[in-house]
A and B are shown apart, each in its own frame.
Chain A
Amino acid sequence: MRNSFVARHPSVLAFLALLALFTLGVSVLSEGFGIGLISTSFVKTLGKTLCLCLIAVAMDLIWGYCGILSLGHFAFFGLGGYMIGMWLMYERTRLIVEGSLAQGALPPTEQEVVDAIGTQIFGVVGSSDFPLVWAFADSLILQLAMVVLAPGLLALVFGWLAFRSRVTGVYLSILTQAMTLALALYLFQNDSGLRGNNGLSGLQNLPGVEAPQAVISLWFFWASALALGLGYLLAAWIVSGKFGSVIRGIRDNEARVRFLGYSVETYKLAVFTLTACIAGIAGALYYPQAGIVNPAEIAPIASIYLAVWVAIGGRGRLYGAVIGAAFVSLVSSWFTGGQIPDLVLGPLTIKWVDWWTIVLGLSFVLVTLFAPSGIGGLFDLWQGRRPPDRHGADLGPDAGALREREATE
């Protein structure tokens, strides 16, 4: 295997090694299994960050490699969370309800159990009947399948409609944003069947598991790390082959790829659907660690932040997306956590909780203007890769092209 996949892409091996080392390190320092240097809540934060890195990889695949700026991937993320949340909530409520009904004089019938679960779950929106979308909620296997199928199906239908009418560029971005807004508004209604703006809650408890949160949080952390590793490997494999060449071709000049005889729409649809499935899996791992999923998570702003992470990390390279998501989300939670002392500038006191968003927004503008390749670009500097200085001449026929840099690699 002289020309093996790993040999051709040493960065993948490096990334996986770092991820494994990081996972091991956190496990050793954790409260659950190690010496207790890292608190459980911080383990959860790190686990959630890994999930965000996974969706950032998906975003990089669709935006950085295929050139489609999707502003709707958090819809798929949230949908994945809802799908696993339905099972978690149903199963946990079932255990509680069965426990309390067992105290009665007669053993409960199945119908009584289901009715009691319905009252428990939907009492908050003034209902007690299970809507149709909860049909599979009692089966972990089916609901896990839904984690992939529901976002995948939505992406397939939406993508098919959008790509076949040749909606491209900013139009497509706005359309994806409209999609996520529509989904969020729909879920906000009480009669959508998913508890309206209450969302699904209590997801941090695994039904039937007695282990403390310190241990459960580590399980999820490992699962997230595993998912990120596999997702990264899959994405790296996809972009390294012929398929990857075609989607990069689509990014750089769609018309030419079409004239070469490729079915551009099919390729786009495949990437869009695949990334939606990855986003769904990331969401299904994220929300049990967050404990609650509600429609506000799907609001358009979340998907735009995703684009921000990938842009700051450096799009068009998978490790850039991971770095961007991890860096920005961790720094964000550090700044908004209120642990940083206020900055006093004479009469003006800067509270970072209030001013962080402004710093983020402005630094985002600066990155877009002055460092289009983001933090990942530092690796280019380190390796001595530089784009040729063209003295301000045009980049080429397609505006969003990254062609130039790749040609020099």
Chain B
Amino acid sequence: MTRLMIALAALVLFCAQAMAQETTVQSVLQAHRETIEKGSRTSIGSAIDAIAASGLPQAQEVLQVWAAKEMWQRSDDGLFYRGTEKPARQVELFDFDTGQSFGTVSRDELSQIKPNSGVRAMIGTALVQFQLSDPDPTRRAEALDAIQRSPGADLLAPLRASIPAEPDTALKARKMRVERLLTIAFDPDEPSRIAAIEEMSGDLGVDMRATLNPLLVTRIALAEGLPETANIRREVKPGDPALGVAAAYDMLIAAGQAQPIPDNEARKALLIANMVDGQVAGVPVHRLDSQEARDAAYVQLAQAGLVPRWSTAEAPEVVVTRHRFVEVYSEPSAAVTEAAEQALAEIERRVGLNQAIDLGLDALSLASIYFLAAIGLAITFGVMGVINMAHGEFIMMGAYTGYMVQQVIADHTLSILVAIPLAFAVTFAAGVTMERLVIRHLYNRPLETLLATFGISIALQQLAKNIFGTQARPLTAPGWLDGAWVLNDVVSISYIRIAIFVLALIFLGLFLFIMRRTRLGLETRAVTQNPRMAASMGINPDRINMLTFGLGSGIAGIAGVAIGLFAKVTSELGSDYIVQSFMTVVVGGVGNIWGTLAGAAMIGTLQKGIEWLNPSNTLAAQTYMIIFIIIFIQFRPRGIIALKGRAAGD
């Protein structure tokens, strides 16, 4: 059947070519002169088709000129020309057939042909067949884009005709895919549609779903009065989520099977309308202050024949059960809808699978953000037992450092490379200063450390607000981090998130290296386990505490640069992450980097999981996550990975 169609199309083209031996563009245009002048969308089709099918080499140019409003008509003889506007109301005219210039003519002797947007769209459709076999591949790709934007039944034949001659393999594959989609949507031949649906089943593209969904559009109708051939999906009982009782009753009213029932408001209006001397049906108005009293008064009025009949017995709930309601496909062919349902089910299964992967990637990237934010805290809180409420402000400080560097160094890649060590240096210095001035004096008073660092936190936050203002400052990522790694229409992950994941991995490695392979790490572990013993072995606990605190703060600064790349840099940047960071450390287990990693993974996965269950509401996701954590602490009070034995410290 398909072949027959193509053969038919080729025949038409051939005939047109044969006829065109004697014709010129001008003669074709003159033949449809009146419709072109009129420019009406309903009648212009024949003119466009005649030009497109004329087989003349200039046909494409004529259509383009027409669509671009560059076609002019000479008023005295009615001939059409291509014209370009010149200064002083002059137009230079060119002949369509020969391309020769006629010289300039005053605008007063001409009239410009201005097709409206509907006509231009029709010309565009006609142009597609030329563009599909245009020698320039970008033009061909554009034509395919245009087809996908506004698919139509008339585009199917030119598209099919252009496939065999397509030299570019990638474009050819795309053309065949679009051809399948158009076949599903528009081919009048049922078996070929079903074949196309089955062939494309399992395709993850959004366009495939967009093609299938219109086939499966249904409406709910009254079973009586439907034609025998109707493509029924299922029977619907009123009260079903798809069909409310009120809607079903409205349908019955529209079909003339039921009487409209005046609702409470309508009956109230009727009562008011029938008020006589402060009484309704003999009942004083002031007694009508309950629904029962009003109903009784209405029944009285109805018996007197003053208002439409109504009684509580003829309730819509009862009436609708006497009728059958069915869900009907707008698509008449049952075989097509069945194939489409199956294909869509298969696609949805695959989409679900891919969404799970996508969710996993999202969770992973969120987990790496939390890990980055929490790793510095894990050092100060976990290793030193010092709770630093100003940790969030160190993150903010790092982000602002990145912003300041970008003000000086314009190149984004270079500025980020400079900003990372600089942010480390700035926050390291701030951390060491804070440790020396405040925290050192409070080592055995953890609750007061919490409060003192909180005081520093609000002071730093306000300071940032005073210096940088309340509006968000941009920290722009380098160009090569723009965009996303797209696997298919469902699974994608932005490069920034991948970069943050890599950064988190680097820091995990760095932390493990420092703690296990360096002198500082050894001494830190010694001081953590037993400060006095460590001191008697010649380690200076003061210095170690200072350096450890500086290290934790410095990492917070780098985390700030990373977070600033995708979040807006404001003075509240840090406080947005501080509670989650604490949760990460507490849930993971204090004093253990693997615990922090596990905590970040758990919180990230949990948050994304809850967001997936209730996608519209991130606030609710956070609420439920915190409640979950409070309950989780019940079962593992010391976190996922708890230190045991002497290392636990108590």
Assuming the contacts A106-B271, A108-B289, A357-B462, asked whether A189 and B619 have C-beta atoms less than 8 A apart, the reply is yes
Selecting from A18-26, A285-293, A300-308, the interface stretch reads A300-308
Q: How far is the CB of B278 from chain A (nearest CB, A)?
A: 10
Is the pair A361, B633 in contact by a Cβ cutoff of 8 Å? no
Write out the residue numbers on chain B whose beta carbons fall within 8 Å of the beta carbon of A304: 454
Is the pair B466, A186 in contact by a Cβ cutoff of 8 Å? no
Looking at chain A, what size class is its interface with the partner chain? 35 or more
Write out the residue numbers on chain B whose beta carbons fall within 8 Å of the beta carbon of A307: 451, 454
Q: Give the residue name and chain of the A residue nearest to B629 (CB).
A: A178
Write out the residue numbers on chain A whose beta carbons fall within 8 Å of the beta carbon of B477: none
List residues 263-287 of chain B with CB under 8 A from any CB of chain A: 268, 271-272, 275, 285-286
Write out the residue numbers on chain A whose beta carbons fall within 8 Å of the beta carbon of B291: 109, 111
- Cα distance A103–B631 when bound, in Å? 54
Residue among A108, A167, A179 making CB contact with B637, cutoff 8 Å: A167
A284 CB-CB contact with B under 8 Å: no
Is the pair A400, B447 in contact by a Cβ cutoff of 8 Å? yes
List residues 163-182 of chain A with CB under 8 A from any CB of chain B: 164-167, 169-171, 173-175, 177-179, 181-182
Is the pair B466, A105 in contact by a Cβ cutoff of 8 Å? no
Is the pair B288, A178 in contact by a Cβ cutoff of 8 Å? no
- Cα distance A394–B272 when bound, in Å? 86
- Cα distance A350–B578 when bound, in Å? 29
A188 CB-CB contact with B under 8 Å: yes
Is the pair A399, B445 in contact by a Cβ cutoff of 8 Å? yes
Residue among B446, B465, B623 making CB contact with A354, cutoff 8 Å: B465
Q: Give the residue name and chain of the A residue nearest to B265 (CB).
A: A112
Residue among A106, A361, A368, A394 making CB contact with B448, cutoff 8 Å: A368
Is the pair B290, A110 in contact by a Cβ cutoff of 8 Å? yes
Q: How far is the CB of A101 from chain B (nearest CB, A)?
A: 10
B438 CB-CB contact with A under 8 Å: yes
Q: How far is the CB of B570 from chain A (nearest CB, A)?
A: 15
Q: How far is the CB of A196 from chain B (nearest CB, A)?
A: 9
List residues 300-353 of chain A with CB under 8 A from any CB of chain B: 300-301, 304, 307-308, 311
A364 CB-CB contact with B under 8 Å: yes
Interface centre among A161, A173, A182 (most CB of B within 10 A): A182
Is the pair A362, B459 in contact by a Cβ cutoff of 8 Å? yes
A118 CB-CB contact with B under 8 Å: no
Assuming the contacts A161-B634, A181-B626, asked whether A354 and B462 have C-beta atoms less than 8 A apart, the reply is yes
Is the pair A364, B634 in contact by a Cβ cutoff of 8 Å? no
Residue among A105, A173, A365, A394 making CB contact with B438, cutoff 8 Å: A365
A107 CB-CB contact with B under 8 Å: yes
Is the pair A178, B444 in contact by a Cβ cutoff of 8 Å? no
Looking at chain B, what size class is its interface with the partner chain? 35 or more
Q: How far is the CB of A25 from chain B (nearest CB, A)?
A: 34
Is the pair B451, A165 in contact by a Cβ cutoff of 8 Å? no
Assuming the contacts A165-B634, A369-B438, asked whether A186 and B623 have C-beta atoms less than 8 A apart, the reply is yes
A42 CB-CB contact with B under 8 Å: no
- Cα distance A108–B635 when bound, in Å? 55
A356-397 CB mask vs B (1 if < 8 Å, else 0) is 011011111100110010000000000000000000001100
Write out the residue numbers on chain A whose beta carbons fall within 8 Å of the beta carbon of B271: 106
Write out the residue numbers on chain B whose beta carbons fall within 8 Å of the beta carbon of A107: 285-286, 288-289
A69 CB-CB contact with B under 8 Å: yes
Is the pair A361, B462 in contact by a Cβ cutoff of 8 Å? yes
- Cα distance A110–B291 when bound, in Å? 9
Is the pair B448, A178 in contact by a Cβ cutoff of 8 Å? no
Q: How far is the CB of B167 from chain A (nearest CB, A)?
A: 57
B432 CB-CB contact with A under 8 Å: no
Q: How far is the CB of B574 from chain A (nearest CB, A)?
A: 13
Write out the residue numbers on chain A whose beta carbons fall within 8 Å of the beta carbon of B387: 170, 174
Is the pair A177, B579 in contact by a Cβ cutoff of 8 Å? yes
- Cα distance A51–B387 when bound, in Å? 31
Write out the residue numbers on chain A whose beta carbons fall within 8 Å of the beta carbon of B582: 174, 177-178
Write out the residue numbers on chain B whose beta carbons fall within 8 Å of the beta carbon of A178: 579, 582-583, 626, 629-630
Is the pair A69, B619 in contact by a Cβ cutoff of 8 Å? no
List residues 400-455 of chain B with CB under 8 A from any CB of chain A: 438, 441-442, 444-448, 450-452, 454-455
Write out the residue numbers on chain B whose beta carbons fall within 8 Å of the beta carbon of A108: 289
Write out the residue numbers on chain A whose beta carbons fall within 8 Å of the beta carbon of B613: none
Q: How far is the CB of A218 from chain B (nearest CB, A)?
A: 34
A158 CB-CB contact with B under 8 Å: yes
Q: Give the residue name and chain of the B residue nearest to A369 (CB).
A: B441
Is the pair B272, A372 in contact by a Cβ cutoff of 8 Å? no
A162 CB-CB contact with B under 8 Å: yes
Assuming the contacts A171-B586, A174-B582, A368-B455, asked whether A106 and B447 have C-beta atoms less than 8 A apart, the reply is no
Q: How far is the CB of B368 from chain A (nearest CB, A)?
A: 22
Write out the residue numbers on chain B whose beta carbons fall within 8 Å of the beta carbon of A360: 455, 458-459
A355 CB-CB contact with B under 8 Å: yes
Is the pair A368, B452 in contact by a Cβ cutoff of 8 Å? yes
- Cα distance A372–B448 when bound, in Å? 9
Write out the residue numbers on chain B whose beta carbons fall within 8 Å of the beta carbon of A399: 444-447
- Cα distance A399–B635 when bound, in Å? 27
Q: Give the residue name and chain of the A residue nearest to B285 (CB).
A: A106
B457 CB-CB contact with A under 8 Å: yes
Q: Give the residue name and chain of the A residue nearest to B286 (CB).
A: A107
Assuming the contacts A69-B447, A304-B454, asked whether A167 and B633 have C-beta atoms less than 8 A apart, the reply is yes
Write out the residue numbers on chain A whose beta carbons fall within 8 Å of the beta carbon of B626: 178-179, 181-182, 185
Q: How far is the CB of B241 from chain A (nearest CB, A)?
A: 18
Is the pair B450, A173 in contact by a Cβ cutoff of 8 Å? yes
B627 CB-CB contact with A under 8 Å: yes
Is the pair A354, B583 in contact by a Cβ cutoff of 8 Å? no
Q: Give the residue name and chain of the A residue nearest to B637 (CB).
A: A165
- Cα distance A301–B461 when bound, in Å? 12
Is the pair B447, A173 in contact by a Cβ cutoff of 8 Å? yes
Is the pair A105, B617 in contact by a Cβ cutoff of 8 Å? no
B391 CB-CB contact with A under 8 Å: no
B18 CB-CB contact with A under 8 Å: no
- Cα distance A368–B582 when bound, in Å? 22
B476 CB-CB contact with A under 8 Å: no
- Cα distance A277–B398 when bound, in Å? 42
Write out the residue numbers on chain B whose beta carbons fall within 8 Å of the beta carbon of A368: 442, 448, 451-452, 455
Q: Give the residue name and chain of the B residue nearest to A108 (CB).
A: B289
Write out the residue numbers on chain B whose beta carbons fall within 8 Å of the beta carbon of A161: 630-631, 634
B193 CB-CB contact with A under 8 Å: no
Assuming the contacts A162-B630, A165-B633, A182-B626, asked whether A170 and B455 have C-beta atoms less than 8 A apart, the reply is no
List residues 567-584 of chain B with CB under 8 A from any CB of chain A: 575, 579, 582-583
- Cα distance A177–B451 when bound, in Å? 13
B112 CB-CB contact with A under 8 Å: no
Write out the residue numbers on chain A whose beta carbons fall within 8 Å of the beta carbon of B630: 158, 161-162, 175, 178-179, 182
- Cα distance A228–B4 when bound, in Å? 95
B463 CB-CB contact with A under 8 Å: yes
Is the pair B451, A358 in contact by a Cβ cutoff of 8 Å? no
Residue among B272, B444, B455, B583 making CB contact with A105, cutoff 8 Å: B272
Write out the residue numbers on chain A whose beta carbons fall within 8 Å of the beta carbon of B231: none
- Cα distance A301–B392 when bound, in Å? 13
A39-82 CB mask vs B (1 if < 8 Å, else 0) is 00000000000000000000000000000010000000000000
Is the pair A109, B438 in contact by a Cβ cutoff of 8 Å? no
- Cα distance A166–B466 when bound, in Å? 42
Interface centre among A185, A304, A400 (most CB of B within 10 A): A185
Write out the residue numbers on chain A whose beta carbons fall within 8 Å of the beta carbon of B450: 69, 170, 173
B17 CB-CB contact with A under 8 Å: no
Report 22 cross-chain contacts, Cβ distance below 8 Å, ordered by A residue. A105-B285, A106-B272, A106-B289, A109-B289, A165-B633, A170-B387, A173-B447, A173-B450, A174-B582, A178-B626, A182-B630, A185-B622, A185-B626, A301-B458, A358-B462, A361-B455, A361-B460, A364-B452, A365-B438, A365-B456, A399-B447, A400-B446
- 18 additional contacts (CB under 8 A) given A178-B629, A300-B579: A69-B447, A106-B289, A107-B288, A107-B289, A161-B631, A162-B633, A170-B446, A174-B387, A174-B582, A175-B633, A182-B626, A188-B619, A189-B617, A358-B463, A363-B455, A365-B456, A395-B444, A399-B447
| Pairs of residues from A and B, 5 with the lowest C-beta to C-beta distance, nearest first | A361-B459, A364-B455, A182-B626, A357-B462, A107-B289
